[in-house]
């Protein structure tokens, strides 16, 4: 069964044995264009399987393993992260391969049995510990909270090959196994989208991780993440490391994301006027109506933005549901680098704008001036106030961008 699934040879001793999920459209709230669950086989005197795949993809992974070796020859399994897209098949894999040991970080050794009750014989590894495979060795590095407490790297030292788990990944399904084989536009957008939607809450830790990689002498020639294609060209690896450093510590820019929803077009008209004000003030508005834009694409656009302006009509004494959805999502992602603004129309009970401002307060995003509200349909004067509001945000962005140079 599954003979169509073959391993992909990365080097004489390392094989990709993961699974391609062509149908994944939603990864807990993040819209995806499929994904891959990457698992890797390292063959030395000892044979190691690094990570497994999501439940339901076990047979695909095992068929790829069988195309190289008898699965019973696997001596060790390394679980770099307990989230179920990488461990969903772990219990079945342990049963099928009967490894001598299953290794995880100290937190992983606790978290895996908390997912798969009874699987409690996980051996914890320490930060910096080496595991000899015979001719080669794996070194482990904890990457705590990037993005789970149990996350870690495994580094095949002699090959300078980094098994980076979620880090440097993309949710992108493709037959190509390497980053340099895919469209650069797709690469740039999907890598940014992945960072924004997975790592934004832990940006400060990502900056520290990049430093720690230098001090720990981790200079990979190949980066094999658990989602999407593998990085194997020096220029691409340099580029993604630089991008991660920038995304982890964003500088002020002149880009302003306007996310809005509207009942009868009044808030939409206000959004257009705010955008015109931003543009005339020298900023770059990116207008994203929620009738079209997905929350995770808005998060992606925020990665290199300087401002977020949110507009909503008031419906039944509340902000519109799609705005509540967006702000709930952003409250989790915790963008810290933005200035904020709010606007919207109401009928008889202005409420949406104050709810938006409350969430900006929780996020500690400084508001520019006061929000703009309009009763029912905005008058020419209301639209002029929106235009001026956009200009005021642009002026503040220019100040911030100027002072960071």
Quickly tell me which residue has 């809450």 as its tokens.
Answer: 201
From the list 277, 280, 276, 341, the residue with the least C-alpha distance to 312 is 341
CB 213 to ligand FEO: min, Å: 19
Is residue 83 annotated as part of the catalytic site, yes or no? yes
Applying CB under 6 A, among 166, 190, 236, 301 the residue interacting with ligand FEO is 166
Q: Which residue is nearest to ligand FEO (CB)?
A: 83
Shortest Cβ 357–ligand FEO spacing (Å): 33
Q: To the nearest whole angstrom, how small is the minimum distance from the Cβ of residue 96 to ligand FEO?
A: 22
Residue 120: phi and psi, rounded to 5, are -110, 15
Spatial contact of 111 and 82, defined as CB atoms under 8 Å apart? yes
State the Cα–Cα distance between residues 177 and 5, nearest whole angstrom: 14
Has 86 been annotated as catalytic? no
Active site residue 349: no
Position 142 contacts ligand FEO (CB under 6 A): no
What distance in Å separates the CA atoms of residue 191 and residue 67, rounded to the nearest whole number?
30
Question: Per CB under 6 A, does 304 bind ligand FEO?
Answer: no
For residues 140 and 131, the answer to whether their CB atoms sit within 8 Å is: yes
Which of 139, 227, 255, 295 touches ligand FEO by CB under 6 A?
Answer: 227
DSSP string, 233-278: SHHHHHHHHHHHHHHHSPPP-SEEEEEEE-SSSHHHHHHHHHHHHH
- Among the listed residues 85, 150, 301, 382, the single catalytic one is 85
Catalytic residue among 40, 194, 260, 346: 194
Q: What is the CA radius of gyration of the chain?
A: 24
CB of 331 to ligand FEO, least distance (A): 20
What would the two tokens of residue 179 be?
């980053």
| 35-56 CB burial, b ≥16 within 10 A, e <16 | bbbbbbbbbbebbbbbbbbbee
CA-based nearest residue to 40, from 181, 222, 182, 224: 224
Query: Of the candidates 283, 325, 358, 294, which has an alpha carbon nearest to the alpha carbon of residue 30?
Result: 294
Give the shortest CB-89-to-ligand FEO separation in angstroms: 13
Catalytic site includes residue 294: no
Does 190 engage in binding with ligand FEO (CB under 6 A)? no
- 8 Å CB contact between 229 and 174: yes
Give the CA distances from residue 42 to residues 37, 46, 163, in Å, rounded to whole numbers and listed in that order: 17, 8, 11
Catalytic residue, chosen from 8, 86, 147, 171, is: 147
Answer yes or no: 8 catalytic.
no
Binds ligand FEO by CB under 6 A, chosen from 8, 64, 81, 177? 81
Catalytic residue among 8, 81, 86, 171: 81
Q: Which of 44, 51, 60, 85 binds ligand FEO (CB under 6 A)?
A: 85
Binding flag, residue 83, ligand FEO (CB under 6 A): yes
The active-site residue out of 8, 86, 171, 227 is: 227
Q: Shortest Cβ distance from residue 311 to ligand FEO (Å)?
A: 33
Least Cβ distance, residue 166 to ligand FEO (angstroms): 4
Q: Is 44 in the site for ligand FEO (CB under 6 A)?
A: no
From CA 38, how far away is CA 328, in angstroms rounded? 30
With CB under 6 A as the contact rule, the residue among 8, 46, 64, 86 that binds ligand FEO is 86
Catalytic status, residue 227: yes
Complex with ligand FEO: residue 32 or 262, whichever CB lies closer: 32
The residue ranges that bind ligand FEO (CB under 6 A) are 81, 83, 85-86, 147-148, 166, 226-227
- Catalytic residue IDs: 28, 81, 83, 85, 147, 166, 194, 227
């Amino acid at each position: 069964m599954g003979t169509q699934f073959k391993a992909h040879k990365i080097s004489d001793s390392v094989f990709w044995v993961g699974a391609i999920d062509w149908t994944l459209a939603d990864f807990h709230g993040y819209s995806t264009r499929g994904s891959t669950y990457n698992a890797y086989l390292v063959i030395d005197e000892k044979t190691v399987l690094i990570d497994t795949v999501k439940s339901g993809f076990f047979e695909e992974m095992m068929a790829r393993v069988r195309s190289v070796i008898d699965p019973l020859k696997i001596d060790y399994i390394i679980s770099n992260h307990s989230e179920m897209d990488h461990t969903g098949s772990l219990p079945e894999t342990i049963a099928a391969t009967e490894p001598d040991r299953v290794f995880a970080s100290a937190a992983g050794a606790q978290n895996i049995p908390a997912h798969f009750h009874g699987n409690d014989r996980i051996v914890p590894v320490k930060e910096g510990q080496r595991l000899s495979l015979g001719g080669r060795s794996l070194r482990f590095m904890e990457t705590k909270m990037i993005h789970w407490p149990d996350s870690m790297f495994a580094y095949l030292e002699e090959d300078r090959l980094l098994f980076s788990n979620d880090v440097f990944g993309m949710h992108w399904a493709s037959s190509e196994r390497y980053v340099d084989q895919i469209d650069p536009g797709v690469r740039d957008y999907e890598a940014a989208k992945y960072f924004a939607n997975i790592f934004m809450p832990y940006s400060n830790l990502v900056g520290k991780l990049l430093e720690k990689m230098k001090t720990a002498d981790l200079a990979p020639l190949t980066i094999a993440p658990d989602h999407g294609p593998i990085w194997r060209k020096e220029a691409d690896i340099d580029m993604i490391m630089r991008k991660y450093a920038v995304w982890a510590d964003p500088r002020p820019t002149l880009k302003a994301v306007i996310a809005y929803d509207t009942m009868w077009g009044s808030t939409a008209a206000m959004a257009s006027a705010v955008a015109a004000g931003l543009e005339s003030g020298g900023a770059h508005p990116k207008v994203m109506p929620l009738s079209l834009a997905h929350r995770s694409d808005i998060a992606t656009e925020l990665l290199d933005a300087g401002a977020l302006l949110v507009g909503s009509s008031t419906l039944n004494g509340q902000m519109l549901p799609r705005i509540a959805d967006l702000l709930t999502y952003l409250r989790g992602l915790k963008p810290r680098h933005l200035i904020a603004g709010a606007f919207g129309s109401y009928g008889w009970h202005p409420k949406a704008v104050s709810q938006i401002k409350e969430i900006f307060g929780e996020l500690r995003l400084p508001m520019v001036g006061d929000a703009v509200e309009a009763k029912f349909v905005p008058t020419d004067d209301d639209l002029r106030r929106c235009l001026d509001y956009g200009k005021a945000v642009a002026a503040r962005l220019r100040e911030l961008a100027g002072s960071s140079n």
